[in-house]
Amino acid sequence: MITASLEARTPADAIPAKPDWRELWRQSVTDPRELLRRLDLQHLAEQLPAGDAGFPVRVPPGYLARIQPGHPRDPLLLQVMPQLAELEDAEGFRLDPVGDMPALASHGVLHKYQGRALLIASGSCAIHCRYCFRRHFPYAEETAAAGQWQEAVAYLRGDSSIHELLLSGGDPLSLSNAKLAQLSPQLAELPHLKRLRIHTRLPAVLPERVDAGLLEWLHALPLQKVMVLHINHPQEIGPELAAACERLRQAGVTLLNQAVLLRAVNDQAETLAELSEQLFACGVLPYYLHQLDRVQGASHFEVADTVALQLIDDLRGRLPGYLVPRLVREVAGDPAKRPIY
């Protein structure tokens, strides 16, 4: 009898009761001065750019709790706190650094690479990372979830060469389970589609998002499922994320991570090695280490290629090969991510 009971369990079973992720999202800090006050860093307020440098602050409570109070160079704080450097007009940094706008093929659909298409599922994120390459993207005009996904799916239906669908944003997991579920029957009607890949930061910054409804949706999808987490520093990893990753794996999801190489955040071999080790302990395979997309407002995060290559060499001496991420950058117009050797 016990065996039968175990066989009948779904991935959504046995999940402990947690606060509703939407309520936690509503508790996010959106005022940079309030952010500094909570971290006992009020003296830094005079260094904040006016108007948040045109990119609003959003930090959910769980992420805030991982930032060390009183430490102005905390690697998590640097990812979310506006800085005067964002106002600098740096050469080569632009509004659309990876060529998203020329790649728009339909409403909310980016088609850059052979065999793959990307849906801008949502313009919302649970956290606003200051280096975000889409911080200037016109989300109000280009979200694929509008109109119950119909226009985006029509484009996919018309191109049988597309075998993999990416959901990005914003963050696709900012959408409700009901909105995500609207996509399922439409994808099931596309025989050429094999894989669904979801790019998200929510399991790391708001692990409560991995709730029963999301797991049920993932488990029922008739596609191979890949989730690419965006985790940049081992300080972002804790038991809540580890538990969320375990539930995702039980739902049949392959977990990968892509990090962005960021000056003063993770540009040390020790940090990147620890990140790879902790990710793998959570069942997540390091995938890409991205050189910074040169978006306007993020030049202070850039790490030179020579430094990046030395870091990868150091990692090869510290880690087994499967824990060393591939160093890449995205170049507008290229047919794939460009490896850096």
Domain with CATH 3.20.20.70 in the chain: 101-339
Q: Which long-range contacts (CB under 8 A, 24 or more apart) does 20-24 make?
A: 20/208, 21/206, 21/208, 21/209, 21/211, 24/60, 24/61, 24/62, 24/206, 24/208
pLDDT at 185 (0 to 100): 95
Residue 140's pLDDT is 80
Q: What are phi and psi of 253, to 5 degrees?
A: -100, 130
- Return the SS3 of 308: helix
Summarize pLDDT for 79-93 with one digit per residue, the tens: 999 999 999 999 999
For 173-196, what is each residue's pLDDT tens digit? 999 999 999 999 999 999 999 999
By DSSP bridging, strand 195-200 and strand 109-110 are unpaired
Predicted confidence (pLDDT) at residue 6 exceeds the cutoff of 90:
no
Q: What gap in Å lies between CA 177 and CA 208, rounded to an integer?
A: 13
State which fold the 101-339 domain adopts: TIM Barrel (3.20.20)
Cis previous bond, 147, omega within 30 = no
**In whole numbers, what is the pLDDT of the chain averaged over residues?**
94
Confidence at residue 141, expressed as pLDDT on a 0 to 100 scale: 85
Q: Looking at the predicted structure, is the pLDDT value of residue 14 above 80?
A: no
pLDDT tens per residue across span 59-72: 999 999 999 999 99
Give the least confident one: 62-66, 145-149, 177-181, 229-233: 145-149
pLDDT over 50 at 202, yes or no: yes
